[in-house]
Amino acid sequence: QNIFLFWHPDHLGTEYINRKGYFSIVMKALVDHPGCFTGVVDWSGKIHNPRIVKNTGLFRELQAGAFFPNQWMTIGDVEMPIVLLDDQVNPLLPWLMKPYTGHPDSTKKRFNYRLSRCRMAGKYGFGRLNNAIVPSVTRLDFSEKNISMVIAACCILHNI
């Protein structure tokens, strides 16, 4: 999930200009099923989503199996590992489930629909955060050193 927070940085301004020409920070986050943020990463607006994901400590933890160590759940009579749900941007990984691409048959379309329904919890979490912050903020006047703390504080307040 992404949320763009617009502000004007003091230094390295060109690194924060996104493809639409705005100064921005891209926020990637893990959102659980009740819509609470459990992991947040922010990056300059110029960087593309797959590159952000691959360059985080969270990605390294997930790749090493340290984020959900030995956590499985039983659905029906099938044991399933805990996985993250994402859109089509990032690659399919053992811990990252994403929709089928191309021209899926009816079974794959049904899977994509149900996966999309599950991802709605994350979208609702981002929507609530966005609705709480964006209407009251037209510009964030923070240095790039402090913006990460502001984003984290917003997510913590949202969770409360």
> Could you give the 3-state DSSP secondary structure of residue 157?
helix
pLDDT value of residue 110: 95
Tens-digit pLDDT profile for residues 64-79:
888 777 788 888 898 8
Average pLDDT over residues 23-31: 78
What's the mean per-residue pLDDT of the chain? Answer: 78
Percent of the residues in the chain that have a pLDDT greater than 70, as a whole number: 80
pTM of the model: 0.70
